[in-house]
Amino acid sequence: MLNLVLFGPPGAGKGTQSQNLIEKYGLIHLSTGDLLRNEISQGTVLGLEAKKLMDQGILVPDAVVIGMISNKLDANKDAKGFIFDGFPRTVAQAEALDELLKTKNSAISVMIALEVNDEELERRLLLRGKDSGRPDDANPEVIRKRIKEYNDKTAPVAGFYKAQNKFKSVSGIGSIGEIFDSISAVISNL
Ligand code: B4P
């Protein structure tokens, strides 16, 4: 099974690259951001609670996203593999993911990190905010809060996978095709 964690700060291009990767490798795409936005658009209790945090650029509680991922793994028992996009975002989520995969006799194959500087992240997210309608993309203060949340809580997750010799990084600056080629090269060397 090929299980990829696509890692990087908000706006690094995780969602963008996932679309190409699912086509090339036939993987199931699990984006916690998309799952949460889906709950919000359906007006569920979980969605209403998550929206309050997401609109401020704050991570939602670990238990909520771990529960969502667990349900999705159960619903896709015959998958060839998964792309985890935007998850795990804390060390607690990374530990829980290892445990969940162990119960399915599986494991993470590799974490691929997209490296992009803060100025470019802010530029991309504000640009997307013009037509995405996402409240968390519209306001420079919220974008900076998301980048701070990433540096404080999510960046340490890289160390978790480095300790398992599963960490690789590629530049997330350049054309979408060039970045996709770099990611594909990492996967073909596994
Ligand atoms: P996410 O939905 O995961 O969103 P993201 O970090 O903003 O985006 P991503 O990196 O996927 O960027 P994209 O490809 O779209 O999270 C949103 C919120 O949900 C979080 O703040 C948090 O509150 C909550 N959440 C989600 N998961 C959670 C978890 N596990 N735990 C707790 N809370 C969680 O790219 C961005 C833009 O850049 C696009 O417009 C794209 O077109 C552009 N772009 C991409 N590649 C480019 C390139 N090479 N050059 C130029 N532009 C590019």
Which domains, and CATH codes, for the chain? Answer: 2-178 (3.40.50.300)
Among 104, 108, 109, which Cα is nearest to 78's?
104
Work out the pLDDT band at 132, boundaries 50, 70, 90. confident
| 58-79 pLDDT tens trace | 999 999 999 999 999 999 999 9
State in Å: Cα 69 to ligand 1 middle. Answer: 17
pLDDT above 90: residue 181: yes
Structure tokens at 165: 């010799």
Tell whether the model's pLDDT for residue 133 goes beyond 90: no
- What mean pLDDT value characterizes the chain? 96
Nearest-atom number in ligand 1 for the CA of 57 is 21
Residues lining ligand 1, Cβ inside 6 A: 8, 10-16, 32-33, 36, 53-54, 57-60, 65, 86-87, 89, 93, 124, 128, 136, 146, 176, 179
Strand, helix or coil at 107?
A: coil
- Residue 85's region, left for phi above 0, alpha for psi from -120 to 50, else beta, is beta
CB-count exposure of residue 45 (10 Å: 0-12, 13-18, 19+): exposed
Q: Which residues contact residue 4 at a Cβ distance below 8 angstroms, ignoring those fewer than 6 apart? A: 21, 27, 81, 82, 83, 84, 108, 109, 110, 111, 112, 187
Looking at residues 161-190, what average pLDDT do you find? 98
